[in-house]
Amino acid sequence: MIYAIFCYHPEDVIGAWTKEEDDAVMERLGVVQDKLREQGKLGPVARLLPTTAATTLRKGRDEPIVIDGPFAETKEQLLGFYVVDCASLDEVIDIAKDLAHANPGIGSYEIRPASIFRPGANLI
């Protein structure tokens, strides 16, 4: 079975870390990742930029609308994710709109740039 692990943390606290503290945490996480990589269990890994860099596409009954900022509702649940490589925010928004149109339900698509991305092993 393929699992996804999502990491939720207080970003203002992490933003207050010094570079040394941040580096130390990344190094410790690296040790965990290396072990998984050797076992062939590790797929893609990403560290996302702060939520201030986020944009959200909201789809109600009408045409989806673009909102600055992260996804902030509690009545929808995280059901999936995509990783895409795009030249601009406009291009990602267009992709999210295609997804929104293809899906008959309502929902939101939070668009977050990543600062670190490692593709990882081909799991299947």
Name the residues that contact another protein, by CB under 8 A.
10, 12-17, 21, 24-25, 49-53, 55, 66-69, 88-90, 113-116
Least distance to another protein from the beta carbon of 64, Å?
Answer: 14
Nearer to another protein, 76 or 90 (CB): 90
Residue 60 beta carbon to another protein: minimum distance, rounded to whole angstroms: 19
Q: Which amino acid is at 10?
A: P
State the virtual CA torsion across 98, 119, 117, 47 in degrees, nearest 10: 90
Report the distance separating Cα 99 and Cα 74, nearest Å: 21
Minimum separation from the CB atom of position 89 to another protein (A)? 4
| Angstrom distances, CA of residue 103 to CA of 2, 43, 47, 108 | 23, 26, 27, 11
H helices present in the chain, as ranges: 11-15, 19-38, 89-102
Is the Cβ of residue 72 or residue 123 nearer to another protein in the bound state?
Answer: 72
**Nearest distance, CB of residue 109 and another protein, angstroms:** 15
Nearer to another protein, 27 or 38 (CB): 27
